[in-house]
């Protein structure tokens, strides 16, 4: 089924909203203000989903057709929009989520990251198709779209042959591009160094090739600097790094003379953090199951939770610790907004919120909020 739509506004998740016979249609491949032909791909009781197949009246920010996605652009949402348009779309999404879920009016702008729109991603999850070609999963699908020899527009350029060598048809292969070079990790074999090393703000961090690390080439440095500027840590202050990973923020705070403690669910990540920041204390803790390990007092807190956010129990426990400042690093504006509403009820409000385009060509956006008690 195909319909003609006048697209209205951007929605969270990389969709643009249109209406057919009064019913909302979440589309991919379009931009606000465009008149398009859409193929309805999923029908629902409350809304439908669709793909743009033809653009009748393009928006000013369009740089190429939106569908089908070229193989090298699989994994992107806004490959057909220019940079200013992408920043406008992400700004609108952050503002809408903060207004709707936290009651906050945000007049900021999502800031462009250093570098360009392409070749910024240092971590990739590839799939091997049934004839051994390296590819990526299609949008909302398990289908593997084989990549051209030059690879994805997102990835820091690297050869695909080593990826194919460690995987078999049906496998997923994780690629890490680090200070040590290229590591390819499949379910049966790994080539290249593991763990790998990343240098940030004068400190070197080791991390498993399959472990979490900020994927943009400039993300760790930029976020670390923003968090330090926000918290203005003083020597001797007690700093708590929740969801600390391998100790990125803990290391930055320790270098400012803070007494640091990190809590993290992953045992492997905690083992790395203890080596990366030997002057800190790090504990394996599942904050989803309980908050008993969160200290009852702290001067500074960094929160860098997974995409779903910290949640009400963690937020309330942080507020009860009474820090003078909290830096919240969020990769999902909806989760950030929900947690900010909980912070508000607990007595903490954002002094400022900044957005960073650390995932160019995709709908994802990174935010940092500084929270204090008025």
Domain ranges of the chain: 2-68, 109-114+216-372, 123-196
Give residue 312's pLDDT band: very low, low, confident or very high (50, 70, 90).
very high
Nearest C-alpha neighbor of 234 from the set 285, 170, 300, 283: 300
Helix 312-320, helix 333-345: angle, nearest 10: 50
* pLDDT at 124 > cutoff 90: yes
Q: How far apart are the first and last CA of the chain?
A: 54
The greatest distance separating any two alpha carbons of the chain, rounded to the nearest whole angstrom, comes to 65
367 in catalytic set:
no
**Superfamily of 2-68 according to CATH:** Nucleic acid-binding proteins (2.40.50.140)
Q: What value does the mean pLDDT of the chain take?
A: 96
Backbone angles phi, psi at 338, to 5 degrees: -60, -45
Mean pLDDT computed over 177-194: 97
Mean pLDDT computed over 177-189: 96
| All residues at 6 or more sequence positions from 142 whose CB lies less than 8 Å from its CB, including other chains | none
CA 221 to chain centre: 15
Query: Residue 69 pairs with which residues in a beta bridge?
Result: none
Query: Residue 328 pairs with which residues in a beta bridge?
Result: 303, 369
Q: Which architecture characterizes domain 109-114+216-372 according to CATH?
A: 3-Layer(aba) Sandwich (3.40)
* pLDDT at 65 > cutoff 90: no
Give residue 262's pLDDT band: very low, low, confident or very high (50, 70, 90).
very high
- Report the share of the chain in percent with pLDDT over 90: 95
Please list, residue by residue across 71-97, b when 16 or more beta carbons sit within 10 angstroms of its beta carbon and e when fewer do: bbbbbbbbbbbebebbbbbbbbbbbbb
| All residues at 6 or more sequence positions from 17 whose CB lies less than 8 Å from its CB, including other chains | 7, 8, 9, 10, 11, 24, 25, 26, 27
Mean pLDDT computed over 277-290: 94
**Position of tokens 């923020």?**
249
Higher pLDDT, 107 or 141: 107
Check for a shared fold between 2-68 and 109-114+216-372: no
What does the pLDDT read at residue 140?
80
What does the pLDDT read at residue 139?
82
Per-residue pLDDT of 82-116, as tens digits, reads 999 999 999 999 999 999 999 999 999 999 999 99
Q: How far is CA 239 from CA 149, 229, 231, 303, in A?
A: 47, 14, 10, 11
* pLDDT at 66 > cutoff 90: no
Indicate the annotated binding residues for S-adenosyl-L-methionine.
214, 243, 264, 304
**Lookup: tokens for 274:** 């203890």
Mean pLDDT computed over 202-206: 97
Please list, residue by residue across 175-205, b when 16 or more beta carbons sit within 10 angstroms of its beta carbon and e when fewer do: bbbbebebbbbbeeebebbbbbebebeebeb
CB distance 174 to 125 below 8 Å: yes
Give residue 224's pLDDT band: very low, low, confident or very high (50, 70, 90).
very high
CB distance 121 to 216 below 8 Å: yes
Query: What's the order of all strands across the beta sheet hosting 123-128?
Result: 144-146, 134-137, 123-128, 172-178, 181-185, 190-191
Mean pLDDT computed over 319-327: 97
Q: How many Cβ atoms are within 10 Å of 256's Cβ, its own excluded?
A: 16
**Position of tokens 């032909």?**
37
What does the pLDDT read at residue 290?
82
Catalytic option among 184, 244, 258, 331: 331
Indicate the annotated binding residues.
214, 243, 264, 304
């Amino acid at each position: 089924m195909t319909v003609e739509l006048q697209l209205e506004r951007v929605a969270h998740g990389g969709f643009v909203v249109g209406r057919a016979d009064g019913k909302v249609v979440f589309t991919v491949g379009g931009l606000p203000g465009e008149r398009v032909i859409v193929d309805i791909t999923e029908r629902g009781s409350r809304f439908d989903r669709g793909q743009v197949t033809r653009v009748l009246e393009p928006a000013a920010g369009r740089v190429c057709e939106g569908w089908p996605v070229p193989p090298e652009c699989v994994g992107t949402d806004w490959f057909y929009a220019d940079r200013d348009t992408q920043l406008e779309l992400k700004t609108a999404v952050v503002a809408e989520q903060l207004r709707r879920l936290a009651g906050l009016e945000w007049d900021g702008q999502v800031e462009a990251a250093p570098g360009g729109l392409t070749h910024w991603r240092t971590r990739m999850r590839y799939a091997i198709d049934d004839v051994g070609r390296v590819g990526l999963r299609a949008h909302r699908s398990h289908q593997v779209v084989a990549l051209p020899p030059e690879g994805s527009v997102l990835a820091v350029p690297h050869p695909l042959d080593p990826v194919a060598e460690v995987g078999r048809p049906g496998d997923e292969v994780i690629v890490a591009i680090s200070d040590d070079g290229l590591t390819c990790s499949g379910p049966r074999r790994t080539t290249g160094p593991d763990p790998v090393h990343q240098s940030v703000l004068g400190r070197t961090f080791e991390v498993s090739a399959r472990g979490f690390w900020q994927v943009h080439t400039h993300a760790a440095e930029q976020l670390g600097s923003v968090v330090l500027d926000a918290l203005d840590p003083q020597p001797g202050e007690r700093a708590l790094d929740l969801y600390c990973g391998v100790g990125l923020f803990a290391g930055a705070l320790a270098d400012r003379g803070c007494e640091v403690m990190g809590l993290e669910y992953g045992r492997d990540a905690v083992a790395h953090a203890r080596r990366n920041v030997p002057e800190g204390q790090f504990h394996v803790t599942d904050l989803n199951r309980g908050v008993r390990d969160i200290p009852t007092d702290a001067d500074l807190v960094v929160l860098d939770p997974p995409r779903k956010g910290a949640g009400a129990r963690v937020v309330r426990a942080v507020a009860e610790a009474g820090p003078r400042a909290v830096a919240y690093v969020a990769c999902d504006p909806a989760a950030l907004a929900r947690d900010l509403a909980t912070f508000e009820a607990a007595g903490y409000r954002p002094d400022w919120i900044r957005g960073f385009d650390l995932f160019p060509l995709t709908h994802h956006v990174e935010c940092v909020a500084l929270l204090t008690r008025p």
